[in-house]
């Protein structure tokens, strides 16, 4: 059984969901596979955040922190002029998935922690490169793939999957059965609620 994790590295609820995904990954060892697909939460954004939108997002982060216990660094977060384009971070995940699968989890963690804790701008090639270094990836090869048309196309395919399934919120867990996709979870769910659903799926 393959469970697909549809997420965005710059989605705060996905950062909150990270400990749950760690448990799910451990549970699936020897019993199934966990496939990472990216949803493109704010892919292609070109306008800087307005002050009201920035405050709305920060309030949302506070809710995620309180609900999940995941840490956030709020001081100086989302500086003036920040463009919340999640496509580069999503594309970085696709690079790791396609070419450096052993480092995939490490890169996802590096991207999320860099953004939410270290306030690294992972919408830029420099920020992506720094996250790749943290994940101990071969940086030159990684960045070459990051700019490749093939990776851009595969990233768009992931976005298209989310769009075609009508999925707008993340995190989402999917599985493919009888020639169609099924949504297992849409939105944050704690491990206590998720574990029995996975057990039922695996039996």
Cis preceding-peptide flag for 171 (omega within 30 of 0): yes
φ and ψ at 5, to 5 degrees? -100, 110
pLDDT for residue 152: 98
pLDDT, tens digit, 9 for 90 and up, residues 149-168: 999 999 999 999 999 999 98
CA dihedral for 157, 86, 135, 64, sign (positive or negative)? negative
In the numeric block, the tokens 């448990």 are attached to: 23
Q: What is the pLDDT of residues 82-106, one digit of tens each?
A: 999 999 999 999 999 999 999 999 9
What's the whole-number average pLDDT of the chain?
96
Q: 33-38 and 2-7 as β-strands: parallel, antiparallel, unpaired?
A: parallel
| pLDDT single digits (tens) 125-148 | 999 999 999 999 999 999 999 999
Go through the domains of the chain in sequence order and give each one's CATH number.
Answer: 2-202 (3.40.30.10)
pLDDT at res. 203: 85
**If you ran DSSP here, which 8-state letter would residue 96 be given?**
H
pTM of this prediction? 0.96
For the cut 90, the answer to whether the pLDDT of residue 48 exceeds it is yes
pLDDT of the residue at 1: 86
Identify the three-state secondary structure at position 40. coil
């Amino acid at each position: 059984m393959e469970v697909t994790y549809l997420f965005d590295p710059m989605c705060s609820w996905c950062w909150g969901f990270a400990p749950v995904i760690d448990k799910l990954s451990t549970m699936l060892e020897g019993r199934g596979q966990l496939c990472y697909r990216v949803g493109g939460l704010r892919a292609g954004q070109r306008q800087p955040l307005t002050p009201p939108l920035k405050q709305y997002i920060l309030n949302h982060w506070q809710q995620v922190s309180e609900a999940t216990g995941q840490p956030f660094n709020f001081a100086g977060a989302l500086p003036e002029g920040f463009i919340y384009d999640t496509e580069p971070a999503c594309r970085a995940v696709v690079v790791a998935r396609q070419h450096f699968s052993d480092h995939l989890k490490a890169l996802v963690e590096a991207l999320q922690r860099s953004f939410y804790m270290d306030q690294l701008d992972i919408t830029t090639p420099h920020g992506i490169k720094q996250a790749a270094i943290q994940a101990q990836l071969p940086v030159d090869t990684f960045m070459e793939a990051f700019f490749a048309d093939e990776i851009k196309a595969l990233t768009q395919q992931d976005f298209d999957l989310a769009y075609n399934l009508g999925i707008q919120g993340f995190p989402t867990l999917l599985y493919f059965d009888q020639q169609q996709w099924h949504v297992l979870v849409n939105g944050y769910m704690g491990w206590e609620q998720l574990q029995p659903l996975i057990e039922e799926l695996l039996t």
